Structure 1
């Protein structure tokens, strides 16, 4: 059984409630008392002793009638002092493979920080609700696990002045009670009248008490805003006081009873008895009700941005005629959609038979939130051994929200991301992000937890120190893309890193980068890539006439698409090429040591340059022909050939003739017949003709 206490401006209501097996709230008993004189004004406790005497009387009456000992209580704070601030924040998340909970936490904290820029002094942050997440301009219910460019969040942060809580604690302490459940009056009223499945509707709940009119707005499945107008039932009572010269208590009597009587007899402050008609009272209070409802309508528009679908009115201050009618008029709504809400249709069991009017909605809500543990603010938790008083309206707090409420800098528990590097690459900024921090280790009641885990009243929280992320570091090769080289034989891809211009200086090796560096990429010659790939060729070592040599046995062919590239072609960083390694051993005929002999003659009317080797080649002491392929370790020796020069027979190599098929031939040198061994010199004219055997001759 729970003791629920509603300390209002005019009255104090105490209820004993429990939950039955059908999960319905049962009200076992109710005690309702008015304050001595005006101990509270506009929802705020002004005289702790007077309020405590009233609370003590209610507590003792409930204890006597129900034979129980009450030492714990569920209470609510007045919405009169609730302040809400909207905060927004955005972050570039393009550099992350996905959005993590730490990134979301930091983004939400930035939004809370944005909301707190202009708050009043001595206000206590009591939490926040996320109103909207966006990623690249689109709404999302959650951001964790997504990837995009720009993430944004919008929150409503709530604040209360410290003295509100301290005054409430002082009252309950004086009567020997401990607060086990603390909520806000508008939250209590919303929880019992607008269940979660109705919050998809745009509903404005107006709780009109004696000192204030509290407002809560539901939309899109959540409570999106809270507000307050410092006008309520007392202003109506005071209008009756001024009009008819009545004391406050007599004016209250008139306000509560005139709608059911055509005439009331009262005695004014001059001790004269007079009769007041219903029409006179309505005439006196209409301007005040018009002003109150106009202010409430204005606040609803301010909080909601438009007229809501439905307005529910609760609280004793709204039970006078004209209230619903005038509020509907100022909102521009049909009267049927603005209605006084009574407990009649609420799903609860009333064993007292006394709960009938709208003034009982808030005390019922306090009992309901306490039984369901919703809308609560906890009395106390501890953080690293230090007690922390939690004030809020969410009913469920994460560890880092507790840290925020305790006045700590939450970023010290989340850790600092490593500093990023910003460089310029070919005129465009490039951001290299530092490492994410490691959040502080957390334990709740000795068990491992996280900063996002929920805590409850009395929990013991231990928080260690976060590990800051390492600053970003990068090298030239991290930002200048390599040329990708794909082998046509194996399909394997290797990378070639070209040089670049770093801060105006040419760099051909990997280099560490600093913040603000300016990099300009330059095309690379295919010749350099070919030299790079030549490392995959077979390297052979040999000697020529005792001189050591080292060469690659083959060549590298490089292609871009179907086009073979030459050494002078250029490619840009980031391009992809294909290559092939062609293995070919060098021949001795290619050695520069092999001298060539030549003679220029005219052969059958055409100029011809005839050459032949001028040296003999021995490899490993063995005479080899000119087409011998040099191998690793070969020892080569050359010898100049002593010769009398060229003869006619040297010319025959120019003809693709099979001597076996020649029937006859004719050789004319400088106009005279010549033989195969006749010498040739520069300028000689030679005519050579062949007659070939035919199949009919029977000769081969």
Structure 2
């Protein structure tokens, strides 16, 4: 195996390289930052030292149930402290860096010894500065130019140039990286060339291995256990107790019996566990690794997956009832019963989540209490016909923090958890066979730190409980009485149960020999206190009455007088409270040299529990937390997300807020834009919510984002079909920007509609508004005519209305639209009205100079406007001359064209880019945008392609076929042909 260090500047792509290696090669990757975060958690190597040296600093967060009095380190506060105080940063580094280095070397050595991977990669930002060149076989420098790194940091992390400059200034320059490292990987292109430089170096390493490695085949050594044919079905369990760690490997036979292939027990070298709770994860992991290594050596194979059990510390139970109806009466299958169990667990999980207090609880086991078939009590539903089945189930939970400690220790030892249960559930599988559970029996599993209890009655388990007193309480009193260390006191306690005299040496080195009865006199008061508490808990769990019998398992129950005193406190005869060992292990076969002992009841029960639950559960890490999921055969990542309590809004992209408004009294709504979907990763690779989950997967989900609020401008409204409205003023056609009223105020087409706006469309001006827009002074002593009718400054004027007035002054000297610019463009009144079946008709909205004498022009214009104006418009704008009054004069002096400067046009929103094209032979003008496409013309002339009635529609630009989205320019000849 090769030990390779990976380093490089920020943004060089180290993470991408490592992900590529993990996906494509047999490698293990250790990221030092992740390891450092783990080592500062309660129970890990650095926590207590940091707690002591930084106890007065504001870096402490919430407490967890598994470590009372040991608050978590708040990483945000810690970063703020050490990055603003150089002395405190050095103090923190002096604690963490050596511990990280020690753990890295330990894990690398384990990987080298196990020979399970070809390369062990270590990624660390300070690989060179921390001197890892001495422990790594090679250092690899991941290189990318500064410009590429800067671009990556901006796009992926959103860093500013200022922040990037600060980071780059704090890191080693390129030449120092190159001088210190053995290999330079040019990652400029990265994924673009499929990491070819990385692949080349891996090919080199693996070729060296093939040349150096000589495959040797040798016979198994004499002390290696001969494995059975079904060795691939071996189950490995760990009973991680306060005093011992017991490892058991075995398999279940077809008749249901269990064969133990190998077993190993080791005591903790220090008090790494107290009262069934892990306090030093690293030391517990070391013992687990030692036990596993011993078993590996015995078996001649490598153990990877393990079953574990949690003590009943801080245990919570929920009893619930669930039911399932069938569409019609049918035979109940095992799958139906499994589904009923899972329904019960799911219901219990919801119940405890609602009433769990400050802790998050994790399901560690369940036991069906009663089944009902069509309302009748049944012991087994399978095979019976039913239209309705019910179940009463008891589900056990522990705080997640307790479970996290167990998982961390196991994983740190290089193992994966494949099943987890509760110690009393495991013990009862061995100590109380199903045919005994009709009786009202108590099972007491007395360990070193806790005494776990469960009650059976009417064929099921009815209650679970725990007291935090057990064998260590007895050992502690012997430490004080005989002036010895804890390990010596533990041996005195054990010897007193099997020997008449006990020999020991105290801390002064003086040897003593005492009768076992003297030890009993010291331990009896404590033993009575423990059995009193156990008896009280049993009676409480059993509905305030005693039980018919009690079975005791575990090493702590072997102490002198335990069973007899417990019987007295329960009020039952001594014979009905007994240690369970050999007599309950008739169906269990042990290797030679191992005798059947109450100490082994729980370890074997953990193995047996695997066979009961292996089809029901899978374990995963979800967003940094352990989850146990009920496997229905097709679990997906979305199922884990939902069970974790993740809000569905975090999983799916959210639309931005909608914008609601009214147009002419009618409610409208513009939907917001879609946000980004959640980012889903499984085992470091991109996945989706519908990806199938695999056991022990590591899943992370980064929540989705919300889109932007709905946006719409006035000009996008259907009612705002044209950007301009035209009038004929003193014989000249004038284009004015169309306005609408928003909340009573005039707004242009570029106005962005806001939530709650009330919009009223305006397809008219008043004479006074037109004069103001044109910046002219109208002589009101002379007649003002609208369509040859007498009007005033408040008269409403609509599209193509003719206005004649006398101007006394102008605001500017130059006209924007000169009459000479309008030659050749047809007025709307010259185009025949389009029938429903005529697809070739067009409407011209370009400006036009009105030719001919003023009298004929006014008459023609009035007729045209009258033919194109609705009844309502005629009512509002036509004025009759009262009888007896003279008609308005038709001959008037010439009036100048309307003056309007370019600056004024900009202020009024008149676009500069106006183009003129020909569509199906008619001239059309387009304005309001910088660029135009073919479809803009179709929209302008209201040409509906859908009216082709099955005929082929061909779009042509300057005689060449084109698409509706093709760009057009001034002077283009456009046509639609129907075939």
Question: Structure 2-normalised TM-score?
Answer: 0.37
Partner of 1:203: 441
CA 307–405 in structure 1, closer or farther in 2 if over 3 Å, else same = farther
Partner of 1:224: 462
Matched position secondary structure for 1:29 = strand
Alignment of 1:414-493 (within 5 A): none
Alignment of 1:62-81 (within 5 A): 62-81=295-314
1:328 CA displacement: 0.4
> Is the 1:115–1:157 Cα contact (8 Å) retained in structure 2?
no
Partner of 1:324: 563
Matched position secondary structure for 1:182 = strand
> In the alignment, is residue 33 of structure 1 matched against residue 33 of structure 2?
no
> In the alignment, is residue 280 of structure 1 matched against residue 513 of structure 2?
no
Which has the larger helix fraction? Answer: 2
Partner of 1:258: 496
Partner of 1:124: 361
For the residues of structure 1 that align with 2:372 and 2:639, how far apart are their CA atoms? Answer: 22
> Is the 1:5–1:12 Cα contact (8 Å) retained in structure 2?
yes
1:273 CA displacement: 3.4
> In the alignment, is residue 7 of structure 1 matched against residue 240 of structure 2?
yes
For the residues of structure 1 that align with 2:597 and 2:316, how far apart are their CA atoms? Answer: 29
CA 220–404 in structure 1, closer or farther in 2 if over 3 Å, else same = farther
For the residues of structure 2 that align with 1:45 and 1:158, how far apart are their CA atoms? Answer: 20
> Is the 2:497–2:516 Cα contact (8 Å) retained in structure 1?
yes
For the residues of structure 1 that align with 2:340 and 2:423, how far apart are their CA atoms? Answer: 34
Per-residue Cα deviation, 1:33-79 (whole angstroms, up to 9, x for no partner):
11121111111111111111111111111112221111111221222
For the residues of structure 2 that align with 1:340 and 1:239, how far apart are their CA atoms? Answer: 24
Alignment of 1:542-557 (within 5 A): none
Partner of 2:574: 335
Give the one of 348, 363, 368 matched to 2:603: 363
Alignment of 1:620-659 (within 5 A): none
CA 398–88 in structure 1, closer or farther in 2 if over 3 Å, else same = farther
1:267 CA displacement: 2.4
Partner of 2:588: 348
Per-residue Cα deviation, 1:137-167 (whole angstroms, up to 9, x for no partner):
997889x9789xxx99865443211122222
For the residues of structure 2 that align with 1:263 and 1:108, how far apart are their CA atoms? Answer: 52
For the residues of structure 2 that align with 1:228 and 1:152, how far apart are their CA atoms? Answer: 29
1:279 CA displacement: 2.2
For the residues of structure 2 that align with 1:107 and 1:26, how far apart are their CA atoms? Answer: 33
Partner of 1:82: 315
Partner of 2:294: 61
> Is the 1:377–1:390 Cα contact (8 Å) retained in structure 2?
no
Matched position secondary structure for 2:503 = strand
For the residues of structure 2 that align with 1:307 and 1:403, how far apart are their CA atoms? Answer: 44
Question: Larger deviation: 128-137 or 219-228?
Answer: 128-137
Matched position secondary structure for 1:80 = coil
CA 401–28 in structure 1, closer or farther in 2 if over 3 Å, else same = same
Partner of 2:554: 315
> Is the 2:236–2:303 Cα contact (8 Å) retained in structure 1?
yes
Per-residue Cα deviation, 1:198-218 (whole angstroms, up to 9, x for no partner):
222222111000000011112
1:20 CA displacement: 3.5
> Is the 2:567–2:574 Cα contact (8 Å) retained in structure 1?
yes
CA 48–289 in structure 1, closer or farther in 2 if over 3 Å, else same = same
1:321 CA displacement: 1.3
Where in structure 1 are there 5+ consecutive unaligned residues?
411-454, 462-700
CA 351–106 in structure 1, closer or farther in 2 if over 3 Å, else same = closer
CA 364–288 in structure 1, closer or farther in 2 if over 3 Å, else same = same
> Is the 2:310–2:422 Cα contact (8 Å) retained in structure 1?
yes
> Is the 2:362–2:627 Cα contact (8 Å) retained in structure 1?
no
> In the alignment, is residue 291 of structure 1 matched against residue 539 of structure 2?
no
For the residues of structure 1 that align with 2:252 and 2:414, how far apart are their CA atoms? Answer: 25
Matched position secondary structure for 2:263 = strand
1:376 CA displacement: 7.5
Give the one of 620, 626, 636 matched to 1:380: 620
Where in structure 2 are there 5+ consecutive unaligned residues?
1-233, 330-335, 649-692, 700-979
For the residues of structure 2 that align with 1:259 and 1:103, how far apart are their CA atoms? Answer: 47
CA 377–39 in structure 1, closer or farther in 2 if over 3 Å, else same = farther
> Is the 1:183–1:376 Cα contact (8 Å) retained in structure 2?
no
For the residues of structure 1 that align with 2:413 and 2:262, how far apart are their CA atoms? Answer: 19
For the residues of structure 1 that align with 2:266 and 2:568, how far apart are their CA atoms? Answer: 35
For the residues of structure 2 that align with 1:395 and 1:331, how far apart are their CA atoms? Answer: 41
CA 66–456 in structure 1, closer or farther in 2 if over 3 Å, else same = same
Matched position secondary structure for 2:396 = strand
For the residues of structure 1 that align with 2:542 and 2:263, how far apart are their CA atoms? Answer: 35
> Is the 1:374–1:395 Cα contact (8 Å) retained in structure 2?
no
For the residues of structure 2 that align with 1:104 and 1:342, how far apart are their CA atoms? Answer: 31
> Is the 1:88–1:114 Cα contact (8 Å) retained in structure 2?
no
Per-residue Cα deviation, 1:470-489 (whole angstroms, up to 9, x for no partner):
xxxxxxxxxxxxxxxxxxxx
CA 37–106 in structure 1, closer or farther in 2 if over 3 Å, else same = closer
For the residues of structure 2 that align with 1:409 and 1:89, how far apart are their CA atoms? Answer: 25
Partner of 1:566: none
> Is the 1:182–1:376 Cα contact (8 Å) retained in structure 2?
no
CA 294–378 in structure 1, closer or farther in 2 if over 3 Å, else same = farther
> Is the 1:88–1:111 Cα contact (8 Å) retained in structure 2?
no
Alignment of 1:589-668 (within 5 A): none
For the residues of structure 2 that align with 1:201 and 1:5, how far apart are their CA atoms? Answer: 30
CA 283–110 in structure 1, closer or farther in 2 if over 3 Å, else same = same
1:388 CA displacement: 8.6
CA 236–134 in structure 1, closer or farther in 2 if over 3 Å, else same = same
Partner of 2:474: 236
Give the one of 396, 407, 414 matched to 1:169: 407
For the residues of structure 2 that align with 1:20 and 1:107, how far apart are their CA atoms? Answer: 30
Question: Structure 1-normalised TM-score?
Answer: 0.51
Matched position secondary structure for 2:245 = strand
For the residues of structure 2 that align with 1:222 and 1:269, how far apart are their CA atoms? Answer: 50
CA 188–404 in structure 1, closer or farther in 2 if over 3 Å, else same = farther
> Is the 2:374–2:387 Cα contact (8 Å) retained in structure 1?
no
Which has the larger strand fraction? Answer: 1
Partner of 2:208: none
For the residues of structure 2 that align with 1:128 and 1:349, how far apart are their CA atoms? Answer: 27
Matched position secondary structure for 1:260 = coil
CA 270–24 in structure 1, closer or farther in 2 if over 3 Å, else same = same
Partner of 1:213: 451
For the residues of structure 2 that align with 1:397 and 1:44, how far apart are their CA atoms? Answer: 34
CA 338–375 in structure 1, closer or farther in 2 if over 3 Å, else same = farther
CA 109–22 in structure 1, closer or farther in 2 if over 3 Å, else same = closer
1:23 CA displacement: 3.6
Matched position secondary structure for 2:552 = strand
1:11 CA displacement: 0.7
> Is the 2:266–2:287 Cα contact (8 Å) retained in structure 1?
yes
Matched position secondary structure for 2:317 = strand
